[in-house]
A and B are shown apart, each in its own frame.
Chain A
Amino acid sequence: MIVNNKKRSKVKLYLFVALMLSVSLLHFVIFYVYVNFDTVRLTFFRFDEIKNQYVFNAFNNYADAIRLTFIEGNAAKLNTFLNTFRAISINLIILPISVITAYAFYKKVYGEKAFRVIFYLPSIISIVVQCSAFLAMFKTYEFNGANFYGPYNQFFRLFGYAPEWLSIGSEGNTMWPLIYAFAIIAGLGTNVILMSSAMLRIPSSITEAAELDGCGFYRELFTITLPLIMPTITTWVTMILASVFGFFMQPMLLTEGSRGTDNKFYTIPWEIFDQVQNGASKSTIPAAATTGILLSLIIMPLVAFMRWLFRKLTPEVSF
């Protein structure tokens, strides 16, 4: 009787585990295995309009993409490629800011709780709303022949700096700084939480001992806290390399959908979005897949190298 009960509960347990896993597995098979397999498959095909089907195209999609971007040096293509990697530089700016901010919270500076909420706010507001609000701060409004300026626009005018902030023209040089500023503000909240979580894990005995030894605010940050959160930073570096795959919303929304002269603001993910979304047709899908895979091929070794480098540079930490 006892054996039977044990068997039954084991079956129930397995059933439970199987049911729980089935949803995740199904999700994995459909949205990861199938999607990725199909993406790679499409890179070797082109759409034949006469046959109304995809036909094998060997490596021609790759050859075309490489030729246009790197060999023929098409200005627009090259700009698109280079702009994509700006996502990394944006994140590299975010890193020190988020570490210092998280450290300030960790050390419970005055008003820390209020700051936490304020810093996290952009992460829970729709990016479209944020962009509209951000644009309004720099806009010039013309009304009945008179100009009205957004608050930041007005502020800079006090110092005699009065560019057309939102110009997409070839000579306009304020749009990229605005994209950077916006991306930093919008991206800070999540990164601060990530760093805060890592810092909160540091045993208080370590920091207390450091304080007793006379360790100051910034010395503790650089000699105690930073080395102890290095594993988190290593993971974060991997994440920022992957951020190039999703870098399109900020430039697309802030330029109001304009790619700029010679694709001055265009990025590869934005291009892929256009190829599969706006005016997409079956013939543009293989090009989008090829671009995506090529980008992965460039990023993957970089990720591996950075992980290797950081592991070499930083000590193994466990506490």
Chain B
Amino acid sequence: MAKKLTALILTFMMAFTAMGLVACGGGDNKSDAFTVMFYDGGYGHDWLEEFVKEFVAEKKYGGDVSQVTSADYKLTAREDVAAYSTTIMKGKNCPDVIMANAIKNDDISDGLIADLSDVYNTKVKTSNGEISINDYIMPESKMIFTRSFSFGGSDSRQWAIPWTAIPLSIAYNETLLNKIEHTTSGNAGDCVEDGRWSKAPTTFEELMTCFADIKAQGTVDGNKISAFGWSGKDGMLWFESLIYIWWAQYQGLDESKIEGENAFYDFFNLDTADKFKQTGIVKSLEHIQEMITGGGNFINSYSDPSAITIKNYQPAFARGEMVFCLTGDFFAKEYKTILENNKDKVNAKLMPVPAYDDVHNENYTFLNTTSCMYVPNNAKHKDMAKEFLAFINDEAHLIRFTELTGAIRPFGANNAADKAAMKAKYLAAKDWGDFEKSTFELYFGCDDVVLAFPRNYETRGKNHEPSLIYTYKNARALSNDYWTIVDKMRTDSVQNIVIGNRDSLYETAVTYYKDLERNYEEYMIKSI
């Protein structure tokens, strides 16, 4: 009896194991719901739910949103959607739309992602009549998602639609700033009135003077304050706005200002590691060095940057514990509650990155442009998904997105007249706070945008491939080892860190790009 019972139990166990193995493959998605898997960032997902419901209502119920039920759509939040995109798209429960903070080239090359060229040709409603998404989207954003099927190919197509373009910069607390007395000897430009800082610094020199004044004063209303919030435990993304803008201002954005060197955007057409020798890299990092280091230590910084993350300093900024910090347009939405609780001492605004100096002072805004939505080839409702991506790009939805998030999608502002018109529409959409207004100013008021992307690829005349290397290797000025560089800035010269020593960025790049240079040579031979 005991033997039989044991055998029975074991058989059940085996059956369950076998069922488990079958389950590994994922069951068929029997539901007819329209599914979106999304990265839930600082903007929240109210807008996504509203748009999906509206879209489903239009497709199924003649536009009556009240008839849409939870069985009609499914939204799945997944923070690591970009990292696991391949597995997600190969599974049987593949969503119809993926909204992530990046798109993988391997997924494109493997045929997992649907070609969205037809979506880009779709016309959307605007107040100026119907316009194709191709003409409506910010050209730089379109380029980022225009790639050949594989490396160096000549068959470029569009693979994704941006769901946002995030302006990153320095936020400042106007309430605190106005209580800072100008007591040091540095140049404060015309930012000081009646001995106090009345507006945000516009040049690096003024910023340094402001930092010195904050340090000298030490407290506001009896509370200890710091000058600048940044963290050592996050990636270089948060410093990119400063580094890239100063670098572009010094180097020249599209046309080089330095004899014998390429322009800023040439860096990203990274056919050789020699591009790491651009003078602008050293110059911009020297500014960072001056901002945050002194006497072998970190200075002007909130807390100990080596021990904190962005999630430590941003709430502290929202509580009024520092005057400046690195952040983006999502800040007000993400920290809404803290900001409301501290509104007597915090009036946050996003400011343009202070100019490199009086000569290199072009008004640029840095945009992080990799966030996108795409359709898996394996999606159950592929055509519907493509329609959805077109649906959310008309003017009414762009404005509604901004209304719900405070952020702007990169559409409809490709010349000065359109910029002014769109800015007016966004401003009229809601009674905005100062932070959102400053974000709009940053977005619409700049002369040009700076991206970590080879915008000038067309001048190379090569098969519409945005970059021969960048899009496949994501060349970054500080490589991926941001913290090591920032930490070494305390004791070593930037020149050494970038070019000089054995572990410098340049030497690392030589090794890193060895294979790529070989590929590049093969590509050149092939294309001739």
- Residues of A in contact with B (beta carbons under 8 Å apart): 16, 19-20, 23, 26, 46, 48-50, 52, 68, 72, 74-76, 140, 142-146, 164-170, 172, 255-263, 277-283
Contact = CB atoms under 8 A, between A and B. Distances in A.
A261 B503 CA distance: 12
19 contacts: A16-B7, A23-B17, A48-B519, A50-B522, A52-B151, A76-B481, A140-B307, A144-B321, A166-B307, A169-B232, A169-B306, A169-B487, A255-B233, A256-B309, A258-B232, A258-B233, A261-B488, A263-B481, A280-B83
B152 A49 contact: yes
B83 A277 contact: yes
B233 A49 contact: no
A112 B21 CA distance: 41
Contacts of B152: 49-50
A68 B11 CA distance: 52
B526 A76 contact: no
Contacts of A263: 481, 484
A37 B270 CA distance: 35
A277 B11 CA distance: 36
Contacts of A140: 303-304, 307
B321 A49 contact: no
A46 B515 contact: yes
Interface stretch (B101-109, B185-193, B280-288, B347-355): B101-109
A256 B233 contact: yes
B304 A167 contact: yes
A74 B232 CA distance: 22
Contacts of A49: 150-152, 472, 519
A145 B11 CA distance: 64
B83 A278 contact: yes
Contact of A164 (B11, B307, B321, B474): B307
A246 B150 CA distance: 35
Contacts of A48: 519
Contacts, number: 109
Nearest to A26: B21
Contacts of B523: 50
B515 A282 contact: no
Contact of B519 (A50, A255, A256, A280): A50
A145 B321 contact: yes
A52 B233 contact: no
Interface residues on B, range: 35 or more
A75 B232 CA distance: 20
B307 A257 contact: no
A279 B511 contact: no
Contacts of A76: 481, 484, 503
B109 A144 contact: no
B151 A50 contact: yes
A168 B233 contact: yes
Contacts of B223: 144-145
Contacts of A262: 484, 503
A246 B523 CA distance: 39
Contacts of A283: 472-473, 515
A8 to B, nearest CB: 16
B232 A168 contact: yes
Interface string B115-155: 00000000000000000000000000000000000111000
Contacts of B303: 140, 142
A54 B431 CA distance: 56
B10 interface: yes
Interface in B273-292: none
Nearest to B321: A145
A260 B11 CA distance: 51
A9 to B, nearest CB: 12
Nearest to A141: B312
Which 7 A-B pairs rank lowest in CB-CB distance, beginning with the nearest? A49-B151, A145-B224, A169-B306, A145-B223, A52-B150, A167-B306, A258-B233
A142 B233 CA distance: 17
B18 interface: yes
Interface string B500-528: 00110000000100010001001100100
A140 B316 CA distance: 13
B483 interface: yes
B319 interface: yes
Contacts of A74: 502-503
Nearest to A277: B83
B105 A281 contact: yes
B483 A19 contact: no
A20 to B, nearest CB: 6
B225 interface: yes
B203 to A, nearest CB: 29
B106 A168 contact: no
A177 to B, nearest CB: 15
Contacts of A19: 11, 14
B104 to A, nearest CB: 7
Contacts of B481: 76, 259, 263
B85 to A, nearest CB: 11
Most buried by A among B10, B21, B151, B302: B151
Given A23-B18, A142-B303, A277-B83, 5 more contacts: A20-B10, A76-B503, A167-B307, A279-B474, A281-B472
Contacts of B472: 49, 281, 283
Contacts of A281: 104-106, 472
